[in-house]
Structure 1
């Protein structure tokens, strides 16, 4: 056969294949491989951590030694070193752990805007999975729920540890919690609300949980029954009581601890079921992916 004819046949065969490949097929492999991370590096419980700013905010990602298929990740909000044992285990199993410090914004629209940019960078530039497992500790509950409400299609599941679900409870202190006046003032400023406007505010997570339920996002909370800082009956229990019955049984679970420590006013405790949390996050995040210790001293 004439060599020039063979070359032309090969060229046109390759051109034909390229034209009829499904859109995005060629880029699929690269989208599943995180790009190099740049920034200051250190260690977090033995794993490499890379620090970088997000809109001037502190943020970082902890990188597993070997990423699981699809690059699943956990987004921790507030107190990333509290009850960290689940995150360390998930790192061992190939999850990335991400953190963005927006703790002074109390889940306000500005915090959500920063969060959107953080999410976009991690998924588009670094190839992390499009659906993320959200973890919120204490006031971090305000951020993870408000971000999930704004982005329900991007959330695989929600795990919350003694979460604030209504800013009137904390930092407002308008119920059983003594709250924090300084943080309440900061919260009002962050949302751009007067005191009365905040008391009438209809958009706390406790008010909008039905949207999370309708999106069929699995939810697991852990609470302390004697928590005086974030009383469960003003937060988790109130919120869960508003979930329509048809969603509550399968998608809303609670781990209830009888007593937290006296020093923490019931807010801190030894985690009784870290393995259950690991299983919960793996089950829902890996499935979603296939479809597409220091204790805090203040809230």
Structure 2
């Protein structure tokens, strides 16, 4: 989601020799039918364009739903996950069933996208990112989230904090960068180096990967960035 929004990380990856690939399936919240297009997209970029078989997936905001739900059934096709203020539980956003602001229009769209008969079926849904972490952890896929601790739309405690706690309990590698005092926007970092190093460490090879790994956020780490540093 959101091609060219807050592109510092993507631009830095392009400078490092990466390709950046993007697919838009509309505002469909990771629903099963639209996600089939991701399978075709992956086959195209790996077979026709010979791109790496284990790309890094970026999940920006609601894009977290698409990233996690694709990885969940394709754990052999992903090198790492970078989530930026990602939606990890639709009850939080767009549902607004916790402390977040929610989005009634998007909540209605999400229910329709999943072909649920009513809101209760969505509330009972167990396919949110917070629910589907076990196979991802079993595949040893490292995760980095970058979030603001003052996010009113996608509160950390209802999304990233739950993923982090559960993923680490499953033995998964999870690193977190917290932008203190930051709301949902802006995404990314003023200096994207920690994110870029994380992706390089898990997607590049040889000396490049080794050098990046030495500077990347470490598994289990929490980096707190005060105002002015993010």
**Structure 1 Cα separation of the partners of residues 81 and 195 of structure 2:** 10
Residue of structure 2 in register with 1:235 after alignment? 159
Indicate the SS of the match to 1:81: coil
Q: Deviations over 1:241-272 (max 9, x none)?
A: 11243624xx1000000112xxxxx1113614
For residues 259-270 of structure 1, the aligned pairs below 5 Å read 259-260=181-182, 266-269=183-186
Rg larger for: 1
Question: TM-score with structure 2 length normalisation?
Answer: 0.85
Between the two proteins, the alignment pairs up a number of residues equal to 205
**Structure 2 Cα separation of the partners of residues 281 and 170 of structure 1:** 27
**Structure 2 Cα separation of the partners of residues 95 and 146 of structure 1:** 24
Q: Any runs of at least 4 consecutive aligned residues in structure 1 with deviations exceeding 3 A, and if so which?
A: none
**Structure 2 Cα separation of the partners of residues 145 and 105 of structure 1:** 14
Residue of structure 2 in register with 1:111 after alignment? 34
Indicate the SS of the match to 2:153: coil
For residues 14-33 of structure 1, the aligned pairs below 5 Å read none
For residues 1-299 of structure 1, the aligned pairs below 5 Å read 78-193=1-116, 194-245=118-169, 247-248=171-172, 251-260=173-182, 266-269=183-186, 271-287=189-205
Indicate the SS of the match to 1:105: coil
Indicate the SS of the match to 2:20: strand
**Structure 2 Cα separation of the partners of residues 196 and 124 of structure 1:** 41
**Structure 2 Cα separation of the partners of residues 244 and 226 of structure 1:** 23
How large is the Cα RMSD of the aligned pairs?
A: 1.7
The gaps in structure 2 that reach 5 residues or longer are 210-230
Contact 1:210/1:244 (CA < 8 Å) preserved in 2? no
The gaps in structure 1 that reach 5 residues or longer are 1-77, 261-265, 291-299
Where is the strand percentage greater, Structure 1 or Structure 2? 1
Contact 2:61/2:85 (CA < 8 Å) preserved in 1? yes
